[in-house]
Structure 1
Amino acid sequence: MRQDMKKYILKKMIELIFTLFFVTLLSFLLMRLSSVDPATAYAKRMIGSPTIEQIEAIRLQLGFDKPLLIQYGRWVIDLLHFDLGTSLANGHKVWTDIATAFPKTLGIVFIASVFQIITIIVLSCIAFLSPWKIPKSVLQIICILGVSIPSFYLATVYLDYFAVKKSLIAVTGNTSFLSYISPALCIGVFGASFYTPMLMDALEHESKEEYAFYARCRGLSESRLLFFHFLPRAAVGLIPSFLQSIGLALANATVIEQIFSIPGFGYLIVNHVLDRDTPMIHAEVFFLALAIALCNIAADLIQWAIQRKREVA
């Protein structure tokens, strides 16, 4: 069992390395194919109206004159030495800006995940215990609407109503931990709407198993069966998929943070793409890909462990 686990983890680590390799190489390739020259953008930002000679001097200084593979190879070597370079937009160390912004995004995603878990469990349990079909049908319709509405549109409407019309939250200057709640709710609506029907179906499936029939014969109540038997069994099957959705929430935060003016990782990506800040863009793509890949690997490992446990049982 332990040997199989080691082999599986090693396999996933190799997949992680190849994933990061292709994603970061694609980042360099797309930057090269872009019509906007990073050396020209940097020269205009620093000088204002640079000459062709000044642009070429900056190109040589920053190493943009080298072939793509050489630039990529140097970047990989620097990465292995924990050196991601300096931002071309503000002169800060890339590590410094990422270390400042990434925890904000993780905080938003964490709150969104907690919101999703609580909402999914509460709504699914209420629907399961409800003796009427109408509340279940209404909940299904609400979930369909929640999945259909894009998170960025929901965030725009949310901000317009609560910030502009009601003045309950600030439009700018959102740096406190409490300010993360609003974007987290907008991100979490999709996941809550997506997984609630899945958990409802899983609970219904568990309630029709043979062990549930014999448990009822022993006199156990539906609520006891739900919380001590059905819910734990049903939730286990959703954990791998839910972990993958956390990786997607990280990507989704790139847009939501921009709407709420929160200086998180997504806000950083958008601004540096506009500035053509290549050292920051390559580092941000790397860390975003790493976070999403780690979430997927964790989901795969849990799924593998569940399957192995069922095979042994």
Structure 2
Amino acid sequence: MLAIILRKLIETIGFVLFITLISFLFIRLAPGDPVLTILNVDELSVSTEQVEALKEEMGFNQPLLVQYGMWLADFVRLDFGQSYVTGQPVMQMILAGLPATLELTTGALLVMLLVALPLGSLSALYRGSWIDHLSRLLSIVGAAVPSFWLGLILIDLLGVRLGWLPTMGRDGWISLILPSLTLGLAISSVYVRLLRSSLLDSLSQEFVRAARARGYSEWRIFRVHVLRHSLPPVITVFGVSLGSLIGGVIVIEVLFAYPGIGKLIVDSIRQRDYPLIQGYILIMALIVFVVNTAVDLSYRYLNPEMRLKERNAGV
């Protein structure tokens, strides 16, 4: 297990260096100038000398690789810099928005589990029945509908017409229902089909027939053997699709004006707030590392065959 974590850590260090360098270069080459935003040139009269002086003060007159090296040196000292717009420390702003994003992500995953687990299981257990056809139809429709469009429909129906739920902001757990429902339903369609396919594969295995021959009940066979054998592919796909989930959170936070780091990063991109963008990218890379490592470890826990192979190979 330690070897797996160390290998993942080395891979993540290389990934972080690569993704931060590429994003740093692309952000700097994008249209727009943060110096003009800081000086508020749309409302104030600013001279060329003032613009050039601020650029020199912020190091923008240096080559891009030199600027990246300066940022990387600050990062090694755990200094993410300060926002160009607010002047607040970047880490403080990210940590302030992170709880809201984690709440939304957790709520969406809970909705996904409540939808995908029963639908996928029933679809596999009653293959060819009306339940199977209905769940497959719902998963296809869910995959075809964009999350923002689904969100607009739910806002209009549950928020505007019926007035049951708030549609904007973060004011207690009730404000979490609509955005969690939107994102959870949007991602559940993939896992319904994946879980159904994995369960059907497990139900055709020899160990299922052996368990039935021993007189075990179908519920015990499904709960103890089939479901556990079917989860590793689902967990693996979740680790791979984590980036898509993060992207979905950003869209939903903007749509519902939910004050998480997704909405924060969209505003920072519009304002060319370079330190905040770089800090966000780095935090997301670290989150991906932690989740992928947890996925690898859980895969080995749920798949005894992999643990046996690694033990025999001396890993």
What is the TM-score normalised by the length of structure 2? 0.89
Matches for 1:1-313 after TM superposition, within 5 Å:
5-44=1-40, 48-130=44-126, 133-303=129-299, 306=303, 308-311=306-309
Corresponding letter in the other structure for 1:309: R
The 2-side partners of 1:43 and 1:136 are apart by 61
**Share of identical aligned residues, percent?**
31
The 1-side partners of 2:296 and 2:237 are apart by 9
What is the TM-score normalised by the length of structure 1? 0.89
Task: Tell me if the contact between 1:175 and 1:263 (Cα under 8 Å) persists in the aligned partners.
Answer: no
Corresponding letter in the other structure for 1:86: Q
Shift in Å, 1:160 = 2.5
Shift in Å, 1:159 = 1.8
The 1-side partners of 2:190 and 2:114 are apart by 14
Task: Tell me if the contact between 1:129 and 1:223 (Cα under 8 Å) persists in the aligned partners.
Answer: no
The two structures, once aligned, show a CA RMSD in angstroms of 2.3
Task: Tell me if the contact between 1:87 and 1:277 (Cα under 8 Å) persists in the aligned partners.
Answer: yes
Shift in Å, 1:45 = 5.9
Shift in Å, 1:189 = 1.8
3-state SS of 2:106 partner: helix
Q: 1:124 to 1:31 in 2, by over 3 A?
A: closer
3-state SS of 1:296 partner: helix
Shift in Å, 1:16 = 0.4
Q: Deviations over 1:212-242 (max 9, x none)?
A: 2232233333223222221122123322222
The 2-side partners of 1:220 and 1:301 are apart by 30
Task: Tell me if the contact between 2:124 and 2:197 (Cα under 8 Å) persists in the aligned partners.
Answer: no
Task: Tell me if the contact between 1:174 and 1:260 (Cα under 8 Å) persists in the aligned partners.
Answer: no
Q: Deviations over 1:115-142 (max 9, x none)?
A: 2223222122333444762220121111
Q: 1:247 to 1:28 in 2, by over 3 A?
A: closer
Q: 1:177 to 1:62 in 2, by over 3 A?
A: farther
Shift in Å, 1:265 = 0.7
The 1-side partners of 2:217 and 2:3 are apart by 44
More off after superposition, 109-118 vs 44-53:
44-53
3-state SS of 1:84 partner: coil
Q: 1:199 to 1:279 in 2, by over 3 A?
A: same
Q: 1:221 to 1:131 in 2, by over 3 A?
A: farther
Corresponding letter in the other structure for 2:237: S
The 2-side partners of 1:17 and 1:27 are apart by 15
The 2-side partners of 1:160 and 1:185 are apart by 14
The 2-side partners of 1:295 and 1:82 are apart by 22
Q: Deviations over 1:37-82 (max 9, x none)?
A: 2212221269623221111121122221222122111111211222
Task: Tell me if the contact between 1:84 and 1:279 (Cα under 8 Å) persists in the aligned partners.
Answer: yes
Aligned length: 309
The 2-side partners of 1:129 and 1:97 are apart by 48
